[in-house]
Every structure is written in C-alpha cells, then in structure tokens.
Amino acid sequence: MANTSKYQVNLDALIPRADLFETATPVIKKTTSLRLSDLGPGPIYDMLRKPDFQRETSNWNPKQVSTLIDTFMKNDIIPAVILWQNGNQIFIVDGAHRLSALASWVRDDYGAGSQSLAFFKGKIPDQQRTMDDETRDLVNSKVKPWADHQTNHSILLMREIVVQWLDSTNAEQAADAFIRINQGGTVIDPLEVRILRAKRSALSVATRVISHGGTGHEYWKHFTDANAQDRAPKLGQEIYKLLFSPILELPIKTTDIPLAGIGYGSGVVRLAFDLIGLANNLAVPDSTKGKGTDAVPSDDTTGTDTVNCLLKTRRAVRLILSNDKLSLGLHPALYFYTAGGSFQPAALHNAVAWFLDLEQRGKIRDFLAIRGAFESMAIKHPVVLKPAAHKLGSGARTRSKMLALFNRAMTLLSKNKNPDRAWQKLTREFPHLVDDEKEQKEEPNKGTAGAKFSRGAKSAISLIDLSGVEKCALCSGLLHKNGKTADHKITRSAGGHSGSANARWVHPACNSNRVDNAK
C-alpha cells in the first residue's frame, strides 16, 4: 500500500454537531467516566455532540488514529475529555478527536463507513476512502476489529474514558472555554479561530461550504431564506468540482490535473477562505496573517450574503479554468504546480487577483493578444509564475510584487512578442528572478545514488517539459481539458460547416473574442 500518512483521516461523521447556544435544562446525571461500549449504539452516544462551530475532525493521520486506539487497549494513560451538558445533549469541549477515533473503531468507520456515507450523502473523495482503508488495516493489525472483542466478551467493553465536566451553565462561557482550551496542545491556528468566532458570517459559511463540496454538516441550515438554503450547498459543490476535478493522483502521470491540487485536508479550508476574500474584494486579512479577531463579521441570517459570496467566487474560478465562455482556460501545470507536482496556492491566488484586475480594467483582450508569447516565456522560465516561496513569502505579502511582474511582462510583450527579449529585460528589472531560476534548475538534479525515484521525481517526468501540451489554435496558449471549446475554423456566419474538418480546440475566452484574436 502507498505511504499516504501525510493525509488525514476524516472522522467528522462520527459525532454530530449541534448549536451550543440553544439553552435547555440538564436532564441526565453527570458521570466521572464513559465506557468504550457507550460509543456504540445507545443513549449516551446519541447525546454526544460537537459545537457546530468546531473545526472538522480531520487532523489525524492513520498512524495517529491507530496509536490512540492501541494506547487505550493497553490501558495506558489518555487525557480526560472535557464535556458540557446542555439539556439532553453532551457537548465535547475537549477530546473530540480522541472520542471520534475510539468511536471509529467501535463502528468500523474511518471516514468511508456507513455512518460517513450517510453524513456525506455518499459523496466521499477517493483520498478519504484510501485513508479509511489504510486506517482500518493499521488498527486491525494492532488490536483486531472491535467486533472480535465483542464476540469474545472482552473486558475492553467495560474500559472507561475519564471525564471532566465544565461547570458553567452559560453557553458563551462554554464557547470561550472551547477556543481557549484548543489554542493549547493541538493548536488552532489564527484562521480557524477567525472562522469559529464568526461561525455564521458569510465568509465563514462560504468557506465551509466550498471546502466540503456542499456535503457534511449543514452550516447553512440557520438561513431564513429557503432559496439560500437550497443554493448554498449546490454552489459549494460546483466550486469544489471546478477546483478539484479530475482527482489528483500521485505521482502525476498526466498533465490533465485539477486546478487546485488535492481536495482533501486542512489546506482546502485555507485555499477556499483566500479565494472568497479575493473574489469578493473583502477587507479581511489573508489566511497567512495575524489573528484577525479584532473585527468579527456579522452573522448572515438570511443566507443572501453567503450565496452572493459563493456566486462571485464561482465566477472567479470559472474565469481561471472552466468551459464557461469567459474562461481563460489557464493550464494548472504551467501556472500553479511545481515541476515536482506540488500545488502552489499562492500562485493560484496571484493569478485570480491579476486576472480579476485585468478584467476590471478592460485588459483581458490585451492579455489574449500576447498570451502565446507569455506562456512560451513561462514554459522556458517557470519562475515568472512560480517564485521560490521561501524567498518572496506567500499570500498577500508578495502579491503586489507578483502583479507588478505580470503587468510588466505583458507590457513588454505587447511592444515586442519575443519571449527571450522580454525575459532579458525582466531579469534586469526584477533581479531576484535569476537566483530563483538557478535554484529551480538545480532541483531536478538532486538525488541519492542507488536510491529509488521519489514521488516528486516521477511527477517531474510529466510536468518538467510542457512544450508538447496541446495548444489553442487562436492564441497558442496551453489547453487543458477543463477549459477548451470547439471553434469553427471558417465561422458559421461565413458558411463554415459543422464537420470535424472545420473544427479545432480553443480557449473559451479566445473563442468569445475571436474577432480580435483570430489569426
């Protein structure tokens, strides 16, 4: 089995979410422990809840999940879980991952079992299924399936998990305690805190909807507008598909790769958050900066703002790569991936920012006119689009520098479409390009004598030379299967027929602007 331990196991379906702020009178007696058998079918499990603002339970890899279960079986020390009771619901203030891992064993569901299938409405990414299989194999090899222990009437059925109770009866205090506790130990980063503290804002809900492809917990269920409740998950699913289809397989053996890498893991939330901010021109820090908790966005009660955020985000993504008539059809391998197959979110965000700016200034056609030359230069000198992140940083910190570089390149090529001449002038005006390119060219030659090829080295076979990728018949830019449309060589208005001899593949935007760009 491939080594996929860098990916996380999605246990989000094992314990449902509920609104922490719906107050009620406690109806059960607090206990000092939970039995492992309580995580099977029964009243205790049915009462367990996570606060609906809690981050997804998907931060552990297969080894971490199996180790926790093995530790429990050996009766080694596991930190107590902290609970808060509200009516007939028991909220997990701290320990959701521990309880979810144990529940996954009891229920034989590591992200793609029956409970997860129902939770995600059957739409489970291949990576999540792979993690389910790998985790089950690890657990079964260490401790055997839970069903085996039930059959043998194992003492494990009675083993207990230590419980501490939060005494506060105030939901606000319980929420603050949750965030405070989870900012230690397994750290919540500033972006997660920002989303949690404004859980019902349009930005937070839209981020969750996109990152989960419109499935999982219904973050939109509080919307008072029925149309918004219906549209939000559908838009999230559509945007997710635009970003992550086809599924990225590693090592990369084809240039038909998704726009935004692997649609699984914590990085998807950050990617979605920044895309929404850019597409909607929101005055919020990007996800790489600060705590961002000074100005908490207001709740979107109707859902209208969230839907508008999603619509603008969808349009921005469509502009970059889709079959929509406005789409530039940018090829991800050229614009957003390193030769070793690593997706660069900052490169995508820079492109979104640049092309939205060009569109606003009425300059898209100017780009199409020099696109072939621009991409020829980028194929030969990838550093133009993908700088060394450790030298120039990432996110909004370097965006102005990159946009200045893009605009200057376009200006130079508009005057003279010779890519080599434009590159020479760019290196004089942006001297860091020389050192960065030298570093990138040295990377493919690094390796260990007698060793097997790394995954990155295998991916580079497909991505390091893009000169053979199919090109647009109008602008000579690279074509991707997610962003091309059939064009009549002789136009229909001029009597061009509909046979294949009169057809050719072009970018949607080139087809829409053919009068200005046809050869």
Rounded Cα gap, residues 255 and 257, in angstroms: 5
Least Cα distance to 349 among 267, 301, 448, 278 occurs for: 278
Q: What are 405-424's pLDDT values in tens digits?
A: 999 999 999 999 999 999 99
In sequence order, which residues have a C-beta less than 8 Å from that of residue 209 and are 6 or more positions away? 219, 220, 232, 233, 235, 236, 306, 310
* Phi and psi torsions of 27, nearest 5°: -120, 0
Rounded Cα gap, residues 421 and 159, in angstroms: 73
135 burial via Cβ count (<10 Å: 0-12, 13-18, 19+): buried
Q: What are 118-154's pLDDT values in tens digits?
A: 888 787 877 888 899 999 999 999 888 988 887 766 6
pTM over cut 0.85: no
Most confident region among 153-157, 234-238, 282-286, 384-388 by mean pLDDT: 234-238
Ranges of each domain in the chain:
1-187, 189-327, 328-442+453-517
Rounded Cα gap, residues 51 and 53, in angstroms: 5
> CB atoms < 10 A from the CB of 64, how many?
16
Rounded Cα gap, residues 10 and 130, in angstroms: 11
Average pLDDT of the chain, as a whole number = 84
For residue 244, the model assigns a pLDDT of 94
Least Cα distance to 191 among 342, 345, 390 occurs for: 345
Least Cα distance to 269 among 54, 114, 5, 11 occurs for: 54
> CB atoms < 10 A from the CB of 453, how many?
12
Helix 62-73 × helix 126-143 angle, to 10°: 30
pLDDT band of residue 90 (cuts 50, 70, 90) is confident
Residues above pLDDT 90, as percent of the chain: 43
Q: Is 216 a residue whose pLDDT tops 70?
A: yes
For residue 100, the model assigns a pLDDT of 93
Whether residue 476 contacts residue 504, with contact meaning beta carbons closer than 8 Å, is answered with no
Q: What are 304-344's pLDDT values in tens digits?
A: 999 999 999 999 999 999 999 999 999 999 999 988 888 99
Decide the pairing of beta strands 33-35 and 81-86: unpaired
Higher pLDDT, 422 or 266: 422
| Helix locations, 12-153, DSSP H | 43-47, 62-73, 96-106, 114-119, 126-143, 146-151
pLDDT band of residue 1 (cuts 50, 70, 90) is very low
Query: For the residues 286-311, what does the mean pLDDT come to?
Result: 76
Q: Is 113 a residue whose pLDDT tops 60?
A: yes
Looking at this protein, which amino acid is placed at residue 388?
A
For residue 182, the model assigns a pLDDT of 63
Higher pLDDT, 230 or 285: 230
Q: Is 356 a residue whose pLDDT tops 60?
A: yes
Q: Where are the beta strands (DSSP E) in 373-507?
A: 485-488, 503-506
Q: What are 21-72's pLDDT values in tens digits?
A: 665 565 556 677 788 888 888 888 998 988 876 777 888 889 999 999 988 8
Our CA angle for 295, 298, 302, nearest 5°, is: 165
